[in-house]
Structure 1
Amino acid sequence: MDRFISGRTRVVVHLAYPSHHLRTPRYFNAFCMEQNLNAVLVPWQVPPENLKQAFHGLRQVESLAGVIVTIPHKRSVAALCDSLSDTAGFLGVANVARRMPNGAFHGDMFDGAGFVRGLLREGHEIRGRRALLLGAGGAATGIAEAMARGGVASLAIANRSIIKAEELAERLRGAFPGRDFAAVPPDARGFDLIVNGTSLGMRPGDLLPVDPDTLEPGTLVADVVMEPDVTPLLQLATERGCIVHKGVHMITSQVELLAGFLLGEPGA
């Protein structure tokens, strides 16, 4: 690939609000350089009320390979796509959408696959674990499905809205009959894997997603928040003798999947 952006460069837009915390462009663009792919990822800060109009405009851009999607747009983009993968359709969320030659968008969801791949790459097996997932939003929903496929023994879901947690648990029970899924309070006792699937920890002054006094030594505590690198939850977990897993591992393990899906290269 030419090391400079040219008229043949394929563009990927990263839809977010806000966008200042994004680290995905750094890793995606580095991967494209390493793999000699003539493509570039650029962040777009789009408020929710303007998303539909912005997304429609992207349909007309022939240089566009597609979009990567993060908070708070994953459910909205899934609804705007013309077609969805089985995973994205089941979850009702998409974190990536490929622009087809006719301007249609096909969405998929790799948050869960990237998260589980990141855990495995760091030597953390999930099969047989008793997991507590904090959150029931877009990223959390994808992670829940991937952990279920990955063989966790049980999965409990704690969310600010208990109704949303129960809805997600019910959908998982329908997809994985005979497995143990439940909506619970944010109490970490009795679990050996805790996953923060919310954005809490991204901003100074955020509340913790779980009561830190309930964290037990030896528990694996994972976060999806990438900025800061060590979130308040991970810092407290370390102080309590837990094993911690950073949010950055989810995106570094997901980049190959995203690039393959958008650019048609190996890794899809």
Structure 2
Amino acid sequence: MLEQVDGRLVVLGILGDPVHQVKAPLMMNAEIRRNQLAETLMIPFHVSREGLNEFLTGLKSWQNFRGTIVTMPHKQAVMASLDQVSEQAKAIGACNVIRRETDGSLTGTMLDGEGFVSSLLAAGYKVTGKSIYLAGAGGAASAIAHALASHGIAGITIYNRTQAKAEELRQALHKQYHELQVYIGTDTPEPHDIAINATSAGMGNSELLPFSLEKLTQPTLICDIIIYPERTLLLQQAEKQGLPTHYGRAMLQQQISLMLKYMLHQ
């Protein structure tokens, strides 16, 4: 951590509502130190939905601001206030990182999916040719689905409490990946190679399970993208059943590296 702050400080942020639970500043500032980036610091931006557009407009004039991570519930809402968005973000309809260009304009992209896939590969799990079960159809889930599809998975089953959103994601995937097998599932999945929770079920003090493990057996890998708590109820139950698990922190660690490079134009 910087021992003193002066006018040379480069500011990065994480934008959400609330932000007290986020771990990104600790991890990003550790990554900044590992990369020996002087006078650079990440801080939390707690901004309500009502003040979001005004806040983003102000960032355009903040000369020493470089970029911000975007977390819930703003990943979709920020899109309307950005000057440019990547093709990935357009396809998904959400972004999770913004950078300020030299002319003051704001550009956004979505790195949730690539961060998740990178974390699996780093842990030694292959995704090419694998069958996937995905709980969720929001911004993070869509990003993960698109990233997995781009890495050549065999097929994906999508479950969401609102079936219309699952169908919307299915159609979006078919539009971009014509040969990909995409199914609509239930909360009790049949055996797959990898099963993923990309919903908020189990976050914080919630004891909700995003899906049932009843029919899942080894070697199905159970993944949860939730950061807090690190060991969610889903992962606890998976471990009791002897199923391999993959924690949300691994995804965040990979994202941190990708996001830092993006925000600093590296």
Q: Which category describes the TM-score, using the shorter chain as reference length? A: over 0.9
Q: Contact conserved, 1:215 with 1:240, CA < 8 A, in 2? A: no
1:119 aligned to 2:113?
no
User: Under a length normalisation based on structure 2, what TM-score does the superposition of the two structures give?
Assistant: 0.95
Letter in 2 for 1:150: H
Q: Which residue of 2 aligns with 1:243?
A: 244
- Partners of 1:255 and 1:207 lie apart in 2 by 28
Identity of paired residues, percent?
35
Cα offset for 1:109? 0.8
Partner-residue secondary structure (3-state), 1:42? strand
Give the direction of change, closer, same or farther, for the CA distance of 1:149–1:207 in structure 2 (3 Å limit): same
Structure 1, 137-146 or 44-53: larger mean CA deviation: 44-53
Matched-pair contact (CA < 8 Å) for 2:12–2:41: yes
Moved more, 85-94 or 108-117: 85-94
Who is 2:63 aligned against?
62
Say yes or no: does 1:30 pair with 2:30. Answer: yes
Pairs within 5 Å for 1:154-233: 154-233=155-234
Partner deviation per Cα, 1:202-226 (whole Å, 9 max, x = no partner) = 1213411002323323210011101
Matches within 5 A, 1:95-110: 95-110=96-111
Compute the displacement of 1:72 (Å): 1.0
2:178 is paired with a residue of what secondary structure? coil
Q: Any conservation in 1 of the 2:230–2:248 contact (CA below 8 Å)? A: yes
Aligned residues: 265
User: Paired residue for 2:264?
Assistant: 263
What value does the CA root-mean-square deviation take over the aligned residues?
Answer: 1.5
* One-letter amino acid of the structure 2 residue matched with residue 239 of structure 1: K
One-letter code aligned to 2:244: I
Question: What secondary structure does 1:237 align onto?
Answer: helix
Q: TM-score, normalised by structure 1?
A: 0.94
The residue type equivalent to 2:90 in the other structure is G
Contact kept in structure 2, 1:218 and 1:241, CA below 8 Å: no
Matched-pair contact (CA < 8 Å) for 1:16–1:71: yes
Q: Unpaired runs of 5+ in structure 1?
A: none
Deviation at 1:3, TM superposition (A): 5.8
Task: Give the deviation of 1:2 after TM superposition.
Answer: 6.9
Q: Counterpart of 1:72 in structure 2: which amino acid?
A: P
Unaligned runs of 5+ in 2: none
When structure 1 is superposed on structure 2, of 161-170 and 179-188 the one drifting more is 179-188
State how 1:131-146 maps to structure 2 within 5 Å. Answer: 131-146=132-147
